[in-house]
Amino acid sequence: MSERCIACGLCQIEAPDIFDYDEEGIVLFAQETEARQQFISEKEEAVLQKAYQKCPVRAILFERL
């Protein structure tokens, strides 16, 4: 994740099992709240793609390994 987050909420709407928010509304990972990056399963990839596409500031970055 990135410092670009503007707390719009779109990523959490698209991928609630992956994303959550801190007390200021800034996105964080739901399972590992202190993490700056996270591995996701192939099953979660389609959901993450939707969240990535909805993010207006491209705060979500991902790459396939």
DSSP assignment of 11-63 equals HHHH-TTTEEE-TTS-EEESS-TT-S-----HHHHHHHHHHHHH-TT------
Is 35 part of a structural domain of the chain? yes
| Residue-number span of the structural domain to which 49 is assigned | 10-54
Is 19 part of a structural domain of the chain? yes
Is 46 part of a structural domain of the chain? yes
Domain count, the chain: 1
The pTM for the full model equals 0.80
Is 4 part of a structural domain of the chain? no
CB-CB neighbours of 37 under 10 Å: 10
φ, ψ of residue 20 in degrees (nearest 5): -140, -175
Dump pLDDT digits (tens) for 7-45: 999 999 999 999 998 888 888 888 888 788 888 898 999
Nearest alpha carbon to residue 11 among 43, 35, 44: 44
Q: Using an 8 Å Cβ cutoff, are 9 and 25 in contact?
A: yes
pLDDT (0 to 100) of residue 52: 92
